[in-house]
Amino acid sequence: MREAMFYERLEGNLVKCNLCSHRCRIPDSKRGVCGVRENRDGTLYSLVYGRAVAQAVDPIEKKPLFHFYPGSRIFSIATVGCNFRCLNCQNYDISQMPREYGSIIGESLPPEEVVEKAKRYGCRSIAYTYTEPTVFFEYAYETAKLASKEGIKNVFVTNGYITEEALRELAPYLDAANIDLKGFSEEFYRKVCGARLEPVLESIKLHRELGIWVEVTTLIIPTLNDSEEVLKGIAEFISGVGEDIPWHVSRFYPAYKLIDLPPTPLETLRKAREIGLEAGLKYVYQGNVPGEGESTYCHECGELLVQRYGYQVLLNKIEDSRCPYCGAKVAGVWSD
């Protein structure tokens, strides 16, 4: 256990957690929405510090990050727990374990060892991913500080529900984030995710303001968030924050509590990509469909710059962050 950051002690051994936008008020001996932060006699503790339930070496494209050291390796870690309860969660067995079963599992993997493994496996960066990294903030924060000293970059793959105060504390050590923008209505977020939309929108803006490289992912779920109105709203919001923010529109496959819905039609993904480009976004990618909509083209001259297949980079022509054909600057982090 580790005493939590970002909480207030209230009367009667009650505590208020200020790590995510739920801002849970937690009675003594109870846990927050995430299931991994517990009030013990008026002190809030993280139950997952240094307890990794998953670790792996991934291609950075799997996060997905397409404009951040493409073709590089990233060392990924996660603990159990999540502050959302998405009906379509692919990792529900670990994300929802504390909430549904009360279990906290994981092998000891202290921050120093995470950094050592990242170096050993030739990883350019570390991803805090698979579940929601905000809920294991203290673990990620200490690891990120050590990694930064070693020249290793840090990446959050996140639902964007972190509070402003927590993000500002982390920002000096956080280099990139892929943020899910799961829908574009409060009703969708309430019913499908157990959360609210507005904090996510504000979080995307704040990441950008703090100089963190941002890419956004929307998993397009048939009948729930696949209307042209919704997709246009998402695309226009992202474009308003930054036209150079890559938007990944990904294919849904039946999972968890949405097993009765079909996979996203490819035509829907193609339409979403068109909508994004029409909204002014320079880079829109189709996800979970190897061989289609994955490559990067110059937004000025249209030439192929980065060719991808699945999680593989087959070709990268970008030089000094510019298109070699017309000299246009290509947004992203391509080298040190």
Q: What is the pLDDT of residue 147?
A: 98
pLDDT of residue 224: 98
39 and 98 belong to one structural domain = no
34 shares its domain with 178: no
Residue 156 domain flag? yes
Same domain, 35 and 59: no
pLDDT over 80 at 118, yes or no: yes
Q: Looking at the structure, tell me whether residues 64 and 205 fall in a common domain.
A: yes
Residues 121 and 213 in one domain: yes
Q: Is residue 336 part of a domain?
A: no
Alpha carbon distance 248, 66 (integer Å)? 9
Tokens 């350019």 belong to: 124
CA 193 – CA 187 distance, rounded (Å): 10
- Residue 287 included in any domain: yes
Domain assignment present for residue 291? The answer is yes
Give the residue from 147, 160, 221, 234 showing the smallest Cα distance to 191.
Answer: 221
The DSSP result for 90-103, as a single string, is TTHHHHSHHHHH--
Average pLDDT over the chain, rounded to whole?
Answer: 97
244, 182: one domain: yes
Is 161 inside any structural domain?
Answer: yes
Q: How far apart are CA 164 and CA 23, in angstroms?
A: 12
Instruction: Tell me the CATH number at 133.
Output: 3.20.20.70
Give 247's contacts (C-beta < 8 A, 6+ positions apart): 215, 216, 217, 218, 234, 235, 238, 276, 281, 283, 284, 285
Q: Total structural domains in the chain?
A: 2
Torsion of CA 273, 265, 62, 132, to 10 degrees: 100
The CB-side HSE value for 122 (13 A sphere, CA atoms) comes to 4
Of the chain, the percentage scoring pLDDT greater than 70 comes to 100
Tokens read off for 320: 């000094």
Please spell the DSSP secondary structure of 41-87, one letter per residue.
Answer: TTEEEES-TTEESEEEEEEGGGTT-SSBSTT-EEEEEE-S--S---T
Report the percent of the chain where pLDDT is more than 90: 99
Q: Tell me the CA distances in angstroms from 120 to 75, 116, 192, one per residue in order.
A: 10, 6, 40
Closest CA to 131 of 55, 68, 70: 55
Q: Is the pLDDT of residue 213 over 80?
A: yes
Average pLDDT over residues 212-222: 98
Q: What is the pLDDT of residue 199?
A: 98
Please check whether residue 323 lies inside any domain of the structure. no
Same domain, 32 and 66: no
Structure tokens at 257: 């509590």
pLDDT level of residue 336 (50, 70, 90 thresholds): confident
Q: Is the pLDDT of residue 216 over 80?
A: yes
Same domain flag for 62 and 42: no
Residues 38 and 148 in one domain: no
| Number of alpha helices (DSSP H) and beta strands (DSSP E) in the chain | 9, 19
Q: Stretch 281-304: mean pLDDT, rounded?
A: 96
Q: Is the pTM of this model over 0.85?
A: yes
Residue 334: inside a domain: no
Give the long-range contacts of residues 26-30, CB within 8 A, separation 24 or more: none
110 with 220, same domain: the answer is yes
What are 242's two structure tokens? 């930054």
Contact 206, 245 (CB under 8 A): no
Same structural domain, 251 and 282: yes
Mapped onto helix, strand or coil, the DSSP state of residue 241 is helix
> Do the domain assignments include residue 321?
no
Task: Yes or no: say if 129 and 63 are a contact pair by the CB < 8 Å rule.
Answer: yes
**39 and 62 inside one domain:** no
Strand segments (E) across the chain = 2-3, 7-9, 15-17, 25-26, 37-40, 43-46, 51-52, 54-59, 73-78, 107-108, 125-128, 153-158, 176-180, 213-220, 247-251, 284-287, 296-297, 304-309, 312-316
Range of the domain at 283: 51-296
Are 219 and 182 in contact, with CB atoms under 8 Å apart? yes
